[in-house]
């Protein structure tokens, strides 16, 4: 039914290494970024793997439905990169509902979200010729607002006052930093993966590199300014340092120059940190949007910023050899937000049907509902009586 295209030589040998970088971002980056919760690490990495493995097959199928040739789908490294991209939307939305959904619910979300993503992307990129090389709009803003709409539908009043397990411990924050650092390092590959080989691709790499560097400094500075006694907050560092990668996505292959890229990164780092500090509590309290990972701050606002920056950059003529216009770019952003909010709301309603093994409120953010978890009780005791094996054995 399908066959393979030789895509290796197509892009002077670069594609396979870029593919691996994107793959690492999807499976290690997103997976470990969410391990910050003290009792939800198995689900963060494990369900991330499940959703991505499922989603990439579905995405590969859907994305190539438009290009069927004699009943066969062509598979190449490029289509594998695009499949990984389609799963990224789901993993972003996963962050918004982390800890409050069952694997079955999430598989349903994967199926529906990738479908809506493929329709929107076909309209925006395929029909409107919108330029969005690093997918600030079609992946990041889309995934964030889709997830936030789902989270709104799945609002749990019982968690209004927080939950014992909705927090980190020292080592869970370190595991999350593995995700952060990998996403930070490989984002230049993400934003340049489907750029035209040669100078446009190199431009995408370098713009992203500059945006991330300035964004990281902005996130540290802002975090220190808004926390008491100038301390840094791990949540900001884990997330807001990455907002520059999101926000520069649409413009990555445009000739915005290092200063343009750094400006975008700077603004993204500031608004993302401020969002975590001030906006997220308001969204939860007033709008009933319980956004576990703060995807609105990392992917939502920076994604819109990226879309707006793209409109400005196109209007200023920073993109050559393209049919897009500032109006089309704006239409692309509007389409993306529309599909995300409507698609996410409908998906949330379907996920709300009480037949998908939803965890009760008190078992939220807790791996032990869906995983066999090693008994820490015994471990504590074992290590407290370490060296006293006779006693330990009598107890056991």
Report 24-63 residues binding its own copies (CB under 8 A).
24, 27-28, 31-32, 35, 38-39, 41-42, 45-46, 49-50, 53-54, 56-57
Within 8 A by CB and 6+ apart from 142, the residues are: 89, 117, 120, 303, 336, 339, 340
117 versus 209: smaller Cβ distance to its own copies: 209
SS3 state at 253 = coil
151 versus 248: smaller Cβ distance to its own copies: 248
82 versus 168: smaller Cβ distance to its own copies: 168
Tell which one of 278, 316, 353, 380 touches its own copies (CB under 8 A): 380
Tell which one of 65, 127, 199, 349 touches its own copies (CB under 8 A): 199
59 versus 143: smaller Cβ distance to its own copies: 59
Spatial distance between the Cα atoms of 106 and 93, rounded to a whole number of angstroms: 10
Spatial distance between the Cα atoms of 306 and 193, rounded to a whole number of angstroms: 17
Within 8 A by CB and 6+ apart from 301, the residues are: 243, 271, 272, 275
199 versus 334: smaller Cβ distance to its own copies: 199
Spatial distance between the Cα atoms of 382 and 304, rounded to a whole number of angstroms: 51
Q: How far is CA 14 from CA 20, 23, 58, 60, 204, in A?
A: 10, 14, 25, 21, 14
**Burial class of 35 by CB neighbour count within 10 A (0 to 12, 13 to 18, 19+):** buried
Print the binding letters for residues 264-303 with its own copies: x by CB under 8 A, - otherwise.
----------------------------------------
Print the binding letters for residues 339-358 with its own copies: x by CB under 8 A, - otherwise.
------------------x-
CA neighbor of 252 nearest in space, from 83, 137, 339: 137
Within 8 A by CB and 6+ apart from 327, the residues are: none
Spatial distance between the Cα atoms of 77 and 38, rounded to a whole number of angstroms: 37
**Burial class of 95 by CB neighbour count within 10 A (0 to 12, 13 to 18, 19+):** buried
Window of 6-14, 142-150, 316-324, 342-350 that interacts with its own copies by CB under 8 A: 6-14
Which residues between 224 and 263 bind its own copies (CB under 8 A)? Answer: 227, 230-234, 237, 241, 257-259
157 versus 387: smaller Cβ distance to its own copies: 387
Instruction: State the sign of the Cα–Cα–Cα–Cα dihedral 219, 224, 226, 232.
Output: positive
286 versus 387: smaller Cβ distance to its own copies: 387
According to the binding rule CB under 8 A, does residue 374 interact with its own copies?
Answer: yes
Within 8 A by CB and 6+ apart from 133, the residues are: 191, 192, 194, 195, 200, 204, 249, 250, 252, 253
Spatial distance between the Cα atoms of 99 and 97, rounded to a whole number of angstroms: 6
Tell which one of 66, 157, 170, 360 touches its own copies (CB under 8 A): 170
Give least dist CB 46 to its own copies, A.
Answer: 5
8 versus 287: smaller Cβ distance to its own copies: 8
According to the binding rule CB under 8 A, does residue 321 interact with its own copies?
Answer: no
Spatial distance between the Cα atoms of 215 and 209, rounded to a whole number of angstroms: 10
According to the binding rule CB under 8 A, does residue 108 interact with its own copies?
Answer: no
For 114, the enclosing helix (H) or strand (E) is helix 103-121
Which residues between 110 and 169 bind its own copies (CB under 8 A)? Answer: 164, 167-169
Print the binding letters for residues 64-103 with its own copies: x by CB under 8 A, - otherwise.
-----------xxx--x----------------------x
Give least dist CB 92 to its own copies, A.
Answer: 18
Instruction: State the sign of the Cα–Cα–Cα–Cα dihedral 351, 353, 356, 359.
Output: positive
Give least dist CB 213 to its own copies, A.
Answer: 5
Give least dist CB 317 to its own copies, A.
Answer: 16
* Partners of 3 in beta bridges: 74
117 versus 186: smaller Cβ distance to its own copies: 186
Tell which one of 203, 222, 253, 336 touches its own copies (CB under 8 A): 203
Window of 146-154, 216-224, 324-332, 345-353 that interacts with its own copies by CB under 8 A: 216-224
Tell which one of 93, 173, 270, 343 touches its own copies (CB under 8 A): 173
């Amino acid at each position: 039914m399908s066959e393979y295209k030789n895509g290796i030589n197509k892009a002077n040998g670069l594609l396979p290494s870029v593919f691996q970088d994107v793959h690492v971002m999807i499976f290690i980056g997103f997976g470990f970024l969410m391990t910050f919760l003290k009792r939800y690490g198995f689900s963060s990495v494990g369900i991330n793997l499940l959703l991505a493995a499922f989603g990439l097959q579905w995405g590969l199928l859907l994305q190539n439905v438009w290009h069927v040739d004699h009943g066969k789908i062509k598979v190449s490294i490029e289509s594998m990169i695009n499949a990984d991209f389609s799963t990224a939307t789901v993993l972003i939305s996963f962050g918004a509902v982390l800890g409050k959904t069952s694997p079955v619910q999430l598989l349903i979300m994967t199926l529906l979200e990738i479908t809506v993503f493929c329709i929107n992307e076909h309209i925006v990129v395929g029909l409107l010729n919108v330029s969005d090389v690093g997918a600030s709009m079609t992946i990041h803003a889309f995934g964030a607002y889709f997830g936030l709409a789902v989270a709104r539908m799945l609002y749990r009043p019982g968690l209004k006052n927080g939950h014992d397990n909705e927090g980190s411990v020292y080592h869970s924050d370190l595991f999350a930093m593995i995700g952060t650092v990998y996403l930070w390092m490989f984002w230049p590959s993400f934003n340049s993966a489907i750029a035209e080989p040669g100078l446009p691709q190199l431009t995408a790499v370098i713009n992203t590199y500059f945006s991330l560097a300035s964004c990281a400094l902005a996130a540290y500075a802002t975090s220190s300014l808004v926390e008491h006694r100038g301390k840094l907050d791990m949540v900001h560092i884990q997330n807001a340092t990455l907002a520059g990668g999101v926000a520069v996505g649409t413009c990555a292959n445009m000739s915005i120059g290092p200063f343009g890229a750094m400006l975008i990164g700077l603004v993204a780092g500031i608004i993302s940190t401020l969002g975590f500090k001030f906006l997220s509590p308001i969204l939860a309290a007033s709008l009933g949007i319980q956004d576990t990972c703060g995807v609105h701050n990392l992917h939502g606002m920076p994604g819109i910023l990226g879309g707006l920056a793209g409109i400005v950059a196109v209007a200023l003529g920073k993109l050559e050899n393209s049919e897009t216009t500032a109006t089309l770019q704006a239409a692309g952003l509007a389409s993306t937000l529309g599909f995300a909010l409507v698609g996410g709301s409908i998906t949330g309603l379907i996920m709300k049907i009480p037949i998908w093994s939803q965890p009760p409120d008190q078992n939220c953010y807790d791996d032990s509902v869906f995983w066999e978890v090693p008994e820490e009780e015994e471990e504590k005791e074992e290590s407290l009586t370490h060296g006293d094996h006779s006693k330990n054995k009598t107890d056991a």
